[in-house]
Amino acid sequence: MTDEALLARVLAPYKAHCRYLRSADVTVRDDGPSAVHGDFAISESCYIDDTGHLNSVEVNICYNQMMYYLVARSVRDGLVPGFAGWTLDDFFKHQLPDILIARFSSAFRRPVDPRSFSGEMELLSVTRRSPGGGPPFLHAETAFRYRDAGDGRCDGEATLAFVNLL
């Protein structure tokens, strides 16, 4: 079930017309990190005339919104050991400057209707790393997918780096 107050706070950095995530439900898997399912609506693209389909820029924005909500819930509810010690205030302090997309790829299988579609994102792994004795960071592998009521589909993967850890 969506925590409306948390969702509003997670989306606060976005301009009002770019808050595409309408609801989000987090599930905790027995075998590891969590996942989120979200419902989206994009009535008008924030940067281009109507293309009639979800495009790669919007895919990335929607991914960010799902990911931020999932991380915020994981921090608040203690769902991912890698975020142990973080508070929600810590998350919001680090949300924009310290959660980086290190790698992002998406593949459209069929066009997705941007006016109403759903998305899912999974945290596949979260590990702490200190390469070469440098400052530690969290490395997260994720997968995501979007579908509409028809046969629209887009799948992808992203690698995240959480830097400037507490």
Domains contained in the chain, CATH given: 4-162 (3.10.129.30)
Query: If you average pLDDT over residues 79-96, what whole number do you get?
Result: 91
**Residue 32: band (very low, low, confident or very high) from pLDDT cuts 50, 70, 90:** low
| Bridge partners (DSSP) listed for residue 138 | 128, 162
- Give the pTM: 0.94
Tokens coding 26: 């987090």
> What's the rounded Cα separation, in Å, for the pair 166 and 20?
30
Is the CB of residue 72 less than 8 Å from the CB of residue 123? Answer: no
Residues 6+ apart with CB under 8 A from 6: 69, 72, 73, 76
Which CA distances in Å does 31 have to 20, 123, 125?
30, 11, 11
Tokens coding 84: 């142990």
Residue 12 CA, chain-centre distance (Å), reads 15
Query: If you average pLDDT over residues 22-27, what whole number do you get?
Result: 96
- The residue type of 1 is M
Query: If you average pLDDT over residues 106-125, what whole number do you get?
Result: 96
Residue 29 has pLDDT above 90, yes or no: no
> Which pLDDT score, from 0 to 100, does residue 166 have?
64
